[in-house]
Amino acid sequence: MQRIIVFLGFVTFFTAMHGQSYPRIENTIRVMSYNIRNAKGLDDKVDYQRIADVVTGLAPDVVALQELDSVTSRSKQVDVLSRLAGLTAMYPVYGASIPFDGGKYGVGVLSKQKPLSWKRIPLPGREEARSLLMVEFRDYVFCCTHFSLNGDDRQASVAIIDQAVKDFNKPVFLAGDINATPESPVLETFKQNWTILTNTRQLTIPADKPKETIDYIFGYAPKGYTYSVWQTQVLNEPVASDHLPLFADVRLKTPKNNIFRSPAYLQNPTANAMTVMWLTNVPCHSWVEYGMDSLNMQRAQTWVEGEAMANNTLNRIVLNGLKPGTRYYYRVCSREITLYQPYKKEFGETATGKITGFTTPDDRKTDFTAVIFNDLHDNYPLFDKLYEQVKDVPCDLVIFNGDCIADVQSEDIAVNTISHYSRGIGADRIPSIYLRGNHETRGAYSPFLWNLLGLMDGHAYGSFSIGDTRFVLLDCGEDKPDDHRVYYGLNDFTQYRKDQAEFLKKEIASKEFKSAAKRVLIHHIPVYGMREESFNPCRDYWGGILAKAPFNICLNGHTHRYSYIPKGAEGNNFPTVIGGGNSEQSATVAVLRKQGKQMTLKILNAKGETLLSLEL
């Protein structure tokens, strides 16, 4: 196939004519066909802008156009397809069928996406030669044609087209003027290998008073490709041409190996439950298969008020009723939904993850190991370097203590970062907890970050026990006052910290806290170890409560300077460690281990050197 080189000239944008009437469905391709009669309307006016407005109003991904002059005397030497390409901001590919009037006459394709290649194949036509224009894109092939008026020629054309497209290993569409009605022999021949995607009961010609259907959009079927049609319509445009334009919104089946967007990652571990999360690239019906025996697993899925949470891309499935201290095997499964309508649903492939496993926490088991990262700031190479130092440490829990997902401007940024960390730590086997730093509170996606992460009893702060050790996790909020100009009045972390102060009081007075053998406090912005002139609202609201709180260790970040503050050095009632920054020179990783009655903390740098080793 020839490579296409195109030039898009001056581009003019127009208000959509039909865009509000035919809204697009996510993850669909809008395919359009229009016999434009060389832009000559039923009012005998040649108006390229009028045709362009019809196209831009529908905003198709690709459109097949028939009856196009190229620099003929009739069109006053205008290259009609190139003119329309400039008016619609689309890439043109022209297929000449015959020489005509000093130029050429044929069919064409306009597309939003730049084609990979194209090819023209001659088709029979006794009154005039015809052609098939095949244009290849990354995910599909789009063909445009205009059949002969002769029945035998039309039948022969179908066989030629079938031969031309049979070797493509991607979906193929065909659109155009077939010059035959739905009950004609050629349409029956088409049905052997093609699916008619448009509604044949909607008439397409003549445009002002349509009486017949002769324009169609097809999908090639022998390779097993399915075409879920979300919407198809013939537009009421009675003047611009003698044919009516038509389109179909089609969702293609996604290859099985492209359904998963992220690996599975475990959240909210408890003795009796575990949350499994993952994302898909396309809407799916998802579930988890799990059990104590990998050969005998049951299914769990999320139900909301009697309905399965399906046709979504974010999956959060809680496995309830688990036994403490028990090994479970599981795998995640997602079946693509290509069509989800009130009375009709269609499905694509089912992707299944590998069988992996986890062990639920056990209140009777006092031993554990937790690894804590802080201030990674989306620095993947740094995370990889730090994890290299602890990868051989048997681990029960990983905590990301703030500013690990930095300035969350989009879902993609958050998903990419969580996915990278999850693959690194084996988060499909080892549960993780994400605490916010001040950078996770910034960016357009920051209010929605918790869609991707597990909350603790509905909050970004909370407490839990592993054996006889009590963990208390706090969420510090921003590092500037709420009324700072960069927040535009959209923050109220003052009240949020007050709420956590009340939580802290109740937690410290609770039976679980008082009876714990060891107590660990983790939050991002330090209460102790900050410069006096620094804004430190956590100290203002929590300092008095923590002054007498019997924690064995507090782990912080934020300053990008590793430091160890022994008990009492700054009025602190417990030893405090502030992790390092987001460069190889300053970064640290913490390993907190409990064995029997002994708890130890080790701080390592990116070289694997031990900076601190404490018995707590």
Q: Are residues 339 and 383 in the same domain?
A: no
Q: Are residues 352 and 380 in the same domain?
A: no
CB 473 within 8 A of CB 435: yes
Q: What is the CATH number of the domain that holds 276?
A: 2.60.40.10
Mean pLDDT over each residue of the chain, to the nearest integer: 93
Q: Are residues 248 and 260 in the same domain?
A: no
On the CB side of 565, CA atoms within 13 Å amount to 22
Q: What is the CATH number of the domain that holds 99?
A: 3.60.10.10
> Quick check: is 124 in a domain?
yes
Q: Are residues 507 and 587 in the same domain?
A: yes
Q: How far apart are CA 90 and CA 81, in angstroms?
A: 10
Q: Are residues 603 and 466 in the same domain?
A: yes
> Quick check: is 1 in a domain?
no
Work out how many domains the chain is built from and give that number: 3
> Quick check: is 10 in a domain?
no
Q: Are residues 444 and 569 in the same domain?
A: yes
Q: For residue 20, what pLDDT is reported?
A: 42
Q: For residue 564, what pLDDT is reported?
A: 97
End-to-end CA distance of the chain: 71
Q: Are residues 435 and 512 in the same domain?
A: yes
Domain limit, last residue, from 293, 328, 359: 359
Q: For residue 25, what pLDDT is reported?
A: 84
SS3 607: coil
Strands (E), 188-326: 194-196, 215-220, 227-234, 246-252, 265-267, 274-293, 296-300, 303-304, 307-308, 310-319
Q: How far apart are CA 315 and CA 165, in angstroms?
A: 38
Chain centroid to Cα 243, Å, comes to 39
Tokens of 456: 């603790």
Tokens of 243: 């044919």
CB 210 within 8 A of CB 237: no
Q: For residue 21, what pLDDT is reported?
A: 76
Q: For residue 1, what pLDDT is reported?
A: 42
Q: How far apart are CA 159 and CA 145, in angstroms?
A: 14
- Paired with 285 in beta bridges are 310, 335
Chain centroid to Cα 333, Å, comes to 17
SS3 528: coil
Please give the model's pTM, rounded to 2 decimal places: 0.84
Q: How far apart are CA 291 and CA 294, in angstroms?
A: 6
On the CB side of 476, CA atoms within 13 Å amount to 29
Domain limit, last residue, from 308, 325, 359: 359
Q: Are residues 590 and 603 in the same domain?
A: yes
Q: Are residues 518 and 420 in the same domain?
A: yes
Q: What is the CATH number of the domain that holds 375?
A: 3.60.21.10
Tokens of 68: 């196009």
Strands (E), 481-584: 518-522, 553-556, 563-565, 576-578
Strands (E), 61-183: 62-70, 91-100, 103-111, 117-123, 130-136, 141-146, 172-177
Q: Can you give the residue range of the structural domain that contains 292?
A: 256-359
> Quick check: is 72 in a domain?
yes
Instruction: For residue 26, give the amino acid letter.
Output: E
Q: How many CB atoms lie within 10 A of CB 571?
A: 12
Q: Residues in the chain, how many?
A: 616
Instruction: For residue 140, give the amino acid letter.
Output: Y
Q: How many CB atoms lie within 10 A of CB 318?
A: 16
CB 228 within 8 A of CB 250: yes
Q: How far apart are CA 229 and CA 196, in angstroms?
A: 10
> Quick check: is 14 in a domain?
no
**pLDDT beneath 50, residues of the chain:** 1-20
Q: How far apart are CA 439 and CA 390, in angstroms?
A: 25
Tokens of 333: 């499964």
Q: Are residues 533 and 567 in the same domain?
A: yes
> Quick check: is 8 in a domain?
no
- Paired with 50 in beta bridges are none
> Quick check: is 5 in a domain?
no
Beta strand 368-373 pairing with 563-565: unpaired
At which residue do the structure tokens 């198809």 appear?
232
The residues, any chain, with a CB within 8 Å of residue 394's CB and separated by 6 or more, are 369
Enter the DSSP assignment of 115. P
Q: Are residues 35 and 181 in the same domain?
A: yes
Q: How far apart are CA 525 and CA 578, in angstroms?
A: 9
Handedness of CA 525, 527, 533, 536 (dihedral sign): positive
Domain limit, last residue, from 336, 359, 382: 359
Q: Are residues 304 and 431 in the same domain?
A: no
Instruction: Determine whether 296 is exposed, middle or buried from the number of CB atoms within 10 Å of its CB (0-12, 13-18, 19+).
Output: exposed
Q: How far apart are CA 345 and CA 330, in angstroms?
A: 27
> Quick check: is 4 in a domain?
no
Beta strand 368-373 pairing with 397-401: parallel
SS3 259: coil
Instruction: Determine whether 192 is exposed, middle or buried from the number of CB atoms within 10 Å of its CB (0-12, 13-18, 19+).
Output: exposed
Q: For residue 457, what pLDDT is reported?
A: 87
